[in-house]
Each structure stands twice: as C-alpha cells, then as structure tokens.
C-alpha cells in the first residue's frame, strides 16, 4: 500500500519521557523510547518508520529533553531528519507545552501544516492497519482534532478511555467525553458497552486548529508560544510555562474533536513491565528468558538477564530484570509499583534510576569498573574518529593503559600515539585530549587518583559536541 | 558449666565438603563451612568453639581438602591448633576414609585416645545442652561408638534417622537400626512413634574402637590406613581408597553402637537454603533482607543482597541470593534443587560454582574487574607484610598502578617502591615480585596484555606459601 506524502503533513514526535516504569532497564539518561528491547529496533526508531510513508523526513519535528541531545541527533540523522527540527525542552513540562511549541514553530513555517502528534514509546504491531487509520485521520480531521481510538481488548485500568458519540457520515465518531483511568469494575462496564475506546495519545490536526484550541483553553500558554518561531528560542519562554497535560488542558475542554476507530492495530502504551510482558511470545510453560538464565521448573516467568548468571527455581508469575547495578524482581501484577522504587531512589539521591553503569557520551562511553578511597577505575571506549574535549582536571591525575585500538593523545605540548599494552600518565592540571586514531573502537583503562573524582571536575577548552558553556 | 579437659579426648573435624547446596554464596573454593553467614562467625569456627571446653587445641585434628590449605591454616592458627594436625585429602573420598585416617594417626600417637567426630558445617544453637550431651557421650562410649540422636522436631525428609532400641541403665539407648532419608509419610510415622531420632553425624568413640570397626566392616580401608602414622603420608594411600560413607560402611553394619539423646540442642545440618532460612529471625511479614534491598509488599521472603540494588515487589516464599557473578531466585520449598544448578555448571565447565569473582590467595585476593580480547583488568589486594611469589609470565605483560598503600617491587635486577598514583610496567618474561611494604592493605590495578591470560601462566621461582612443586 502506498500513501500520498502530502507536502503539508508533519510529524511531531514526543520523545522527552523518562520511562521510569521500565526501570531498571530504563534510566533517566537512557529512557524507554531509546531502548532496544529484545534486540529489536528502539521504540523511537519504530515510531519514525511507522509514519515515514506519509511524511517526508524534513517534516519530522521532535520534541525531547536536553538530556537526549546526542541520542536524538544520532537517530534523527539516520533518517535524514534535519537537526534544526529537534526541539530541546530545558525541563519536562508535561504534554501540552511541547505540542503548543511544535504547532507554533511549524505554523510559522507553513500555515497550512497538518500535524500527526505521536508518542515515541508506544507499540503498534499491525503497520497496515495503523497506516489506514492514520491516513483516515489525516483525510478527515479538517477543522477538528482527530484522535485514534483503540477498541479495548480487555478491561485495562492503566489507560484513559474515550466515550464515542454520534457516528458521522464520514465513518468517524464525534467524541462524547474523555475518561481518566477507571477502576476494574468501571473498565469492565466500558468494555461491555462497546462505546468506549482506549485513548492512544495519537492526535492529528492542522497547526492552526491546535493553536486555536490552545488560544481558547490555555490562553496563557498560547500567548507564550506566540513569542517564538524556531526551536532555538524555546529558552525565552520555557521557564515560565506551567506544566499541564494535553488531555487535561485541551481534550477535556473542547467539543471540536473526532475519533477515528483504529481496530486491530496491536497498540499498547507499554506502560509497565506487565504491559510489555503481555505482548511477548512465551514458551509452553509461559516463560521467556533472555540472557544467561538457568531455569528449573519456573512457570509464567519472564527473566531478562545480563552478563551475570541467573538461576530461577520454581518461580511463578514473576518478572526479573537484571542490570549490572540493580535487579528488579516483581510479581507481574505488581509491576506498576516500579515507579515507587524509582521515587525512593530519587528521594535518597541515588544514581541507579539516573544512569547505567555504562554511561554513553557523544564520543563513546565509559564504565566505572571499581572505585575506592582516592581512586576510580574506568573502561573508556572511544568511537572511531571521535575525540573527547581538550580538557584538564583540577583535582585528579589519570593513568591510561590502552587495551584495544589506537589512541592519539595531546598531552601538554606533545602529541603521542599509543597502542594496546602502552600507557601514559596525565598529571593534575595537564591539558590533554584523547582521540581514536584507528578504524576500530579504542579501549583504554583509566585509573584516576585524587581527593575528588566527580565528573564535574572537567575544565573543557575545546569540544566537538558544543559542551562548552 | 565447666568440663574436665581429659588429656586423651580428641576432636576430629570433618571440613572437606564443597557446600554446593549453598550456592551461589558457597563456591568450591569457599565452601559453606568457611562462610560468615549474616556477619556471624563461620560454621567452622563455631564448631571449634563448641568443643574447645572439652578438648585442648593440640588435640584437634582437621581433615579437609587440599583446596582449603590456606583458609584452614589461618583458622587453626587462630585457635592454637598445630599445623601438623591438619590432614589434607588430595581428593574427596566421602566420610569413612577421613575418619579412618584420623583414627589411625591419633591412635599411633595415643592408643588411649577418645575421638569426637564432628562435621563443621552444622548448626547447634544451645551450647549448654550440646555440651551436656557430648560430655555424656564421652563418659559412656566405652567400647562402643556413641552417636548423638536428635529428637525430631518435624517430619524432615532431608535427614537420616536412627531407630532407638533398648534404654540401658546408663540412660543411653542401644541403636536398633539406621534409616536413610524417608519420604514424608514415613517421616511422619517416625516422628509419631517417638522411637526415631535424627542422625546428627556426631560420633564419639575411642580410636581403637573406630579402628576395630573399620577392620571388621571395611578391612581394605583398615589395611590401607595401617601404612601411615602422620597426615603427611596420606598421599601414599589415598589414590587407591574407595569412597564410601561412614554411615553406609560402618554404622549400618555394626551392632556396637549406642545413642545419646541430644534434646533441645537446636541442631540443623543446614543442608539447604530452606533449612538455613528456617532458623532465621524474620520481621512481622516473615521477611529477612540483608544488603541493599528495597521491598514493596513482599512476604515470607529472604533476600541476601550484595553491593547491587535489589528491588523486590510483591514476592512470596522466595529466597534470593545475589553475588557479583550469579544470582539465585528460588521458591523456598524448591531450594534443594540448587544442587542441580551446580551440576549443570560443572557439566558446562563454567566457573560460577567454583570460585567467586574475588579470589582469595594466601597473600590477599584479586578481583577481575573486566576482560576482553587480549586484556584483563584486576584489582589486586595484598595483605600487610605479604608477598606474592617471585615469578614471571611467558605470555603476558602487566601494567601496575598503585591506588592504595605501599608496594615494594622486585623487577628484573631492580627494587622499586610505589605509592598511590604511581605505576610500573612488567614486560613478558621479566622476573618480578610484589610485596606490601606498608602497614595497611596494598591495592593496585593490574592491566594484563597478551594472547593468553590464564592463571596457569605463572612460573614461580620463590614462594612463601609452598606453592612451587
């Protein structure tokens, strides 16, 4: 099937979530939308692929967090999405603000623009049916907001519902009202009545319609976004924006909304480990094991292992997710409570919710192998052709031993080249820059010594990634 | 209470087990008897302390595996047990052989010797009652073997049983017969009848009686042990000894055995995680958590964490044991199956059943932090005053960076001293020796480079621990 890529069709991808309900695999610095679960493409990539047949890459806009600058830049480049179409939110402000900002920026450029607003962390299984539903929404939205409504497959309590009203001649429904997540009894009634649909969070409307709705329902936000016309200006207005959800701020307050029924598209918001687990294929005992797992007699158990050996004996209805610094073991029907664990970690100012032990950097990654009083040992991996910043440290010295690949190192006024089994020493205060001068990954062991060994102690003098403020 | 430390009382500690049922905390190189569970003294130490009031340190004999040479030497020294009293089995040969060998060695020295044979991996809670029972056995054993029989507290299927016969005037029982581990129904009958007792594996008899019993029931073993008189000679006979258990080889074949009832001593053979779990104090939800555990709503769950964060949500009746390279999650009543996991690891020639990531050495320990193609990174910890062997490697070079303490290093013909933030390089083939010249632990990061990085590539020239063959 092929669709017309109308020049005024735009995609607005919402990719700023922290994905806390997928902890410990999801971390603030590497959230759900960028994860490759079960060795598949990331949810972000899949979202792009899903709408690419309607919309040309230059018409994709991505609203994301400042934190994901490098991930999103890499992924967007891969699809030919222009870097200036990425809008970085300085902080999270819920969903109304990013949609308003994107509508304004796109409207400034193309007053006839029609926008598909898509969350980037959902699943859609049936691409054909999804395409048909989205195409429908694009055709019929006119002067309204069109929302995809999913016929409910079970009385889910984790989703918001749309109550469909009159069926119109065009085959779409007027929306009667929106309902927040119901309790189980109410959800059962919803499903039975056949009048309620899951709220997919996928909206289609012209930029003009979106802006008109903001003007009517959240006039303050409307006035704020009027001040900008590109993503670069966001800093001017962002601080004063009040966080509010698009559902609460707009959907629940307008009558100008229609619903396109999107049946059989295999949609899930993957809002919990259990929701994710439900869509996975299991063996005849209901188990799914990934990684280094030894099982004896477990049933209905999903275990996502890691390098570490995981021995499961006689388990039932559990989800186990192992990462190098944290392991989650949860009864399937309690998996939503992961959010409480994350809240606790935030509260205790820990780091297990924030980053993985392997921390990605635009030039590669590092992994802390060990640390103790006055020392820290890292495995530093630099991608071919990449360089860290030219920098120095005020408080620490560094021993470097190359174990794989080729390094070019600026050290004070010298330039040296190192290969595996060669080493150098960078004393406190010495300007240095590490580059990968080979065609494979460069790996080196860095042993830091000093009284303060935080990441904050980097004074950058030159940087290829715009990290000097 | 004080007891007479008769000069002819001897303790024979059986300390050669691999403790596989306590995996992953127990490993072949660090088995159950040497573990400090819940920050307590090790089971080995507790066994010594339990009989120390009857028996002087010079009368303790320990039969253990060659693998535990250094652990046992350290622990024995701490109690003043002479090093020559430690008998090292070149391989495990079940329980008859070590008892026969110890009986022979002690009999050679003291023909009047009375031996208490004690497993080192059991628990006894009530020291007073245990002392009374053991004292009783020492008084009454005469020309028989006395065994401590434990009044059963429940129909345990994991223990062997003793059927008590006639009650003798001395207040002890003739033994009618021994029964192997029964099924549940049979165990229930045993408990109800009040005639059956748990077989504690704790025996008291004179060396002469033991030897006579061996002569009668396992004459081949008797003849073999006649050839030796000290532990050093064990190598002469060990290879040809047939493995057989003391229970099967002797107990089930002799009538010359009496039972001392040892009520209320709080005995357990700690034969599984469940058995261990049963004796632990729990909170009001039946939980016990050690380490970095976050719990939300779990019940009857025991989790022994490690450095890694462990989040438990809504669990029931589980035991979780986390170690750096392996995690066990087992339903409590299936915990015996750990043995099958270990069998599988042996079969697959893995190492997670054999050693921990931190490997103890007589001079300290090492921990592999990372490894990859052609490199391995270790944290090496050397105890104050200790030295590794004078050695060289045929296949690998080593970079050393000291991160804590003081190192004295022999490198070729030079001697160098290093402190934190100082490094050196030891090329392939270069003779070297690392010593801790400070009064605290020495810690250094060792980065090995080479095509072969196995522990086998150590050519030892001098060693303080007798490791040159």
Answer yes or no: is pLDDT of A180 > 60.
yes
Query: pLDDT tens digit string along A201-257?
Result: 999 999 999 999 999 999 999 999 999 999 999 999 999 999 999 999 999 999 999
Residue A101, judged by CB atoms within 10 A of its CB (0-12, 13-18, 19+), counts as buried
Strand, helix or coil at B32?
helix
Cα of B454 to nearest chain A Cα, Å: 17
Rounded CA-CA distance A394/B238 in Å is 63
Q: Do A377 and B374 touch (CB under 8 A)?
A: no
* Chain A residues inside the 8 Å CB shell of B337: 296-297, 313-314
Q: Does A447 touch chain B (CB under 8 A)?
A: yes
Q: Does A296 touch chain B (CB under 8 A)?
A: yes
ipTM of the complex: 0.90
* Chain B residues inside the 8 Å CB shell of A443: 372, 375
Choose among A437, A309, A170, A267: nearest CA to B342.
A309
Return the structure tokens found at B185.
């129904």
Q: Does A373 touch chain B (CB under 8 A)?
A: yes
Return the structure tokens found at B109.
């020295």
Whether the CB-CB separation of A136 and A148 falls below 8 Å is answered with no
* Average pLDDT value over all residues in chain A: 94
pLDDT band of A318, cuts 50, 70, 90:
very high
Domains and CATH numbers, chain A: 9-271 (3.90.550.10), 274-344 (no CATH), 358-462 (2.60.120.10)
Q: Do B445 and A449 touch (CB under 8 A)?
A: no
Nearest chain A residue to B368 by CA: give it: A369
Q: Which residue has the tokens 């939503």?
A: A336
Task: Please give the helix or strand (H or E) that residue B101 lies within, else none.
Answer: helix B96-109
Which of A316, A331, A367 is nearest residue B313 as measured by Cβ atoms? A331
Choose among B367, B265, B281, B384: nearest CA to B325.
B367
Residue B39 CB-half CA count within 13 A = 5
Supply the pLDDT for residue B468. Answer: 83
Nearest chain A residue to B342 by CA: give it: A311
Residue ranges of chain B whose pLDDT lies below 70: 1-5, 38-39
pLDDT band of A1, cuts 50, 70, 90:
very low
Strand, helix or coil at B268?
strand
Cα separation values, A384 from A78, A365, A404, A438, B139, Å: 17, 12, 12, 6, 79
Cα of A431 to nearest chain B Cα, Å: 18
Strand, helix or coil at B338?
helix
Nearest chain B residue to A311 by CA: give it: B328
Choose among B264, B251, B99: nearest CA to B163.
B251
Supply the pLDDT for residue B29. Answer: 93
Sign of CA dihedral A425, A428, A432, A434: positive
Task: Please give the helix or strand (H or E) that residue B429 lies within, else none.
Answer: none
Q: Does B330 touch chain A (CB under 8 A)?
A: yes
Which of A24, A334, A338 is nearest residue B297 as measured by Cβ atoms? A334
Interface-testing mutation among A320, A421, A443, with chain B (most B C-beta atoms within 10 A): A421
* Chain B residues inside the 8 Å CB shell of A396: none
Return the structure tokens found at B73.
């030497």
Nearest chain A residue to B315 by CA: give it: A331
Answer yes or no: is pLDDT of A51 > 70.
yes
Whether the CB-CB separation of B105 and B22 falls below 8 Å is answered with no
Answer yes or no: is pLDDT of A5 > 80.
no
Supply the pLDDT for residue B38. Answer: 67
Neighbour-count burial for A13-31, b at 16+ CB within 10 Å, e otherwise? bbbbbbbbbbbbbbbbbbb
Helices B96-109 and B207-217 sit at what angle, rounded to 10 degrees?
130
Which pTM was predicted? 0.91
- CA-angle at B89, arms to B135 and B350, nearest 5°: 115
Task: Please give the helix or strand (H or E) that residue B23 lies within, else none.
Answer: none
Lowest model confidence (mean pLDDT) among A114-123, A458-467, B374-383: A458-467
Whether the CB-CB separation of A190 and A155 falls below 8 Å is answered with yes
Q: Does B342 touch chain A (CB under 8 A)?
A: no
- CA-angle at A85, arms to A81 and A88, nearest 5°: 120
Residue A168 CB-half CA count within 13 A = 15
Whether the CB-CB separation of A21 and A336 falls below 8 Å is answered with yes
Cα separation values, B87 from A95, A103, B360, Å: 73, 82, 21
Return the structure tokens found at B339.
């043995």
Task: Tell me how far apart the 2 most distant CA atoms of chain B are, in Å.
Answer: 77
DSSP state, B82?
-
Rounded CA-CA distance B454/A448 in Å is 27
* Chain B residues inside the 8 Å CB shell of A312: 329-330
Q: Does B346 touch chain A (CB under 8 A)?
A: no
Rounded CA-CA distance B150/B162 in Å is 9
Choose among A342, A307, A326: nearest CA to B309.
A326
Cα separation values, B394 from A404, B371, B411, B423, B445, Å: 21, 19, 15, 21, 20
Query: pLDDT tens digit string along A262-304?
Result: 999 999 988 899 989 988 899 999 999 999 999 999 999 999 9
Q: Does B430 touch chain A (CB under 8 A)?
A: no
Q: Do B397 and A296 touch (CB under 8 A)?
A: no
Three-state SS for chain A is CCCCCCCCEEEEEEECCCCHHHCCCCECCECHHHCCHHHCCCHHHHHHHHHCCCCCHHHEEEEEEHHHHHHHHHHHHHHCCCHHHEEEECCCCCCHHHHHHHHHHHHHHCCCCEEEEEECCCEECCHHHHHHHHHHHHHHCCCCEEEEEECCCCCCCCCCEEEEEEECCCCCEEEEEEECCCCHHHHHHHHHHCCEEEEEEEEEEEHHHHHHHHHHHCHHHHHHHHCCCCHHHHHHHHCCCCCCCHHHHCHHHCCCEEEEECCCCCEECCCCHHHHHHCCCCCCCCCEEECCEEEECCECCEEECCCCEEEEECCECEEEEECCCEEEEEEHHHHHHHHHHHHHHHHCCCCCCCCCCEEEECCEEEEEEEEECCEEEEEEEECCCCECCEEECCCEEEEEEEEECCEEEEECCEEEEECCCEEEEECCCCCEEEEECCCCCEEEEEEEEECCCCCCCCEEEECCCCCCC
Cα of B424 to nearest chain A Cα, Å: 10
* Chain B residues inside the 8 Å CB shell of A345: 294, 309
């Amino acid at each position: 099937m092929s669709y017309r890529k109308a020049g005024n069709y735009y995609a607005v991808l919402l990719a700023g979530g922290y994905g806390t309900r997928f902890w410990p695999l999801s971390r603030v610095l590497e959230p759900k939308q960028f994860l490759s679960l079960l060795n598949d493409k990331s949810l972000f990539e899949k979202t792009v692929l899903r709408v690419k047949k309607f919309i040309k890459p230059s018409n994709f806009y991505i609203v994301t967090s400042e934190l994901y600058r490098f991930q999103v830049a890499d992924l967007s480049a891969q699809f030919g999405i222009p870097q200036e179409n990425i809008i970085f939110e300085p902080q999270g402000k819920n969903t109304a603000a990013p949609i308003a900002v994107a509508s304004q920026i796109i409207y400034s450029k193309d007053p006839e623009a029609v926008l598909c607003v898509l969350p980037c962390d959902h699943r859609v299984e049936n691409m054909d049916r999804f395409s048909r539903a989205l195409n429908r929404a694009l055709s019929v939205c006119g002067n309204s907001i069109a929302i995809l409504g999913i016929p409910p497959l079970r009385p889910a309590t984790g989703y918001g519902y749309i109550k469909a009203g009159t069926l119109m001649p065009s085959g779409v429904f007027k929306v009667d009202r929106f309902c927040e997540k119901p309790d189980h009894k109410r959800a059962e009634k919803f499903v039975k009545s056949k009048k309620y649909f899951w709220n997919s969070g996928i909206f289609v409307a012209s930029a003009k319609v979106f802006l008109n709705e903001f003007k009517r329902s959240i006039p303050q936000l409307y006035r704020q976004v009027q001040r900008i016309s590109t993503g670069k200006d966001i800093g001017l207005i962002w601080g004063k924006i009040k966080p509010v959800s698009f559902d609460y701020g707009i959907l629940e307050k307008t009558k100008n909304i229609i619903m396109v029924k999107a049946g059989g598209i295999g949609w899930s918001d993957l809002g919990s480990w259990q929701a994710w687990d439900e869509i996975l294929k299991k063996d005849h005992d209901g188990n799914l094991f990934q990684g280094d797992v030894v099982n004896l007699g477990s049933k209905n158990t999903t275990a996502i292992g890691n390098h570490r050996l995981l021995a499961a004996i006689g388990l039932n209805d559990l989800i186990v997710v192992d990462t190098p610094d944290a392991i989650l073991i949860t009864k399937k029907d309690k998996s939503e409570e992961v959010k409480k664990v994350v809240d606790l970690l935030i509260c205790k100012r820990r780091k297990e919710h924030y980053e993985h032990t392997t921390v990605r950097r635009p030039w590669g990654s590092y992994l802390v192998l060990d640390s103790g009083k006055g020392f820290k040992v890292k495995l530093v991996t630099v991608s071919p052709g990449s360089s860290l910043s030219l920098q120095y440290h005020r408080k620490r010295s560094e021993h470097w031993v190359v174990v794989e690949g080729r390094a070019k190192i600026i050290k004070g006024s010298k330039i040296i080249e190192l290969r595996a089994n060669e080493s150098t020493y960078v004393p406190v205060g010495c300007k240095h820059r590490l580059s990968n001068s080979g065609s494979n990954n460069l790996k080196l062991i860095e042993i830091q010594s000093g009284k303060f060994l935080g990441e904050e102690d980097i004074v950058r003098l030159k940087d290829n990634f715009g990290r000097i403020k």
